[in-house]
Amino acid sequence: MEKTDINRWLNSNQSWESRIEQMASYIPKDSLVLDIGAGKKILKKFIPTCEHNTLDLQDSTYNCDLNNMTDYLWEGIGIYSHIFCSGVLEYIINLPEFIKHITSKGSTFIISYAGVELNNERKSHRWLNDYRIIDIVTMFLNKNCELIRIQEWQTHTLMVFKKESKNEL
C-alpha cells in the first residue's frame, strides 16, 4: 500500500501559483474557504476578503495526513462555503472516500486533477491514484454535486462543483 511521502511535502520548493490564481478567481468575495493541502498558503493572497482555513501536514488550521484521516477527525472540521483542492487529489489513496468527506463539509468544490488522459507518467510524479477526468466528475455527481465549470490548465483539469439544492415539498 502506498503512503503519503511526508518529507516531500515538508521540503517542497515547487510553485503552482498561476494555477492557484486561476482557481482563486472562482471564489466570490467574503467566502468561507477550506484550503486542503494548502502548502505555502498561496491561495490566501488571492482571496484577501475571504476567511481562509487550511488542512495540511503542518502549520495549518487543521494539521493532518490526508491519507490517514479517520471519520472522527473529519467530524471535527467545520462547514465551509468553498472547499479548495489544488494539486492534492492525485496524492489521495482512497479518493472516493476523500470526496465523500469533503462533500459533507462544503457546498462548492474547486479542484484540480491531472487525469490519466494527459498524464501517463504518474509514478514519476509519485501520484497515488490513476483516474480519468470522467471518473472524478462521476464521483462528485454521485455525491449530488453538479459540475458548473471545467477548464484545462496545462496538463491539469480545473473543475468547480456545486452541491445541488434539495427541493423540499
Q: For residue range 108-159, what is the model confidence (pLDDT) as tens digits? A: 999 999 999 988 888 878 898 999 999 999 999 999 999 999 999 999 999 9
In a domain, 90, yes or no: yes
Domain assignment present for residue 95? The answer is yes
Structural domain contains residue 1: no
Cell numbers representing residue 74 in the block: 473529519
**CATH for 83:** 3.40.50.150
Dihedral, CA of residue 46, residue 132, residue 164 and residue 151, to nearest 10: 40
- Give a yes or no: residue 33 inside a domain: yes
Mean pLDDT across the chain? 88
Q: Is the pTM of this model over 0.75?
A: yes
Strands ordered across the beta sheet of 51-56: 62-63, 51-56, 32-36, 80-85, 106-113, 156-163, 145-153
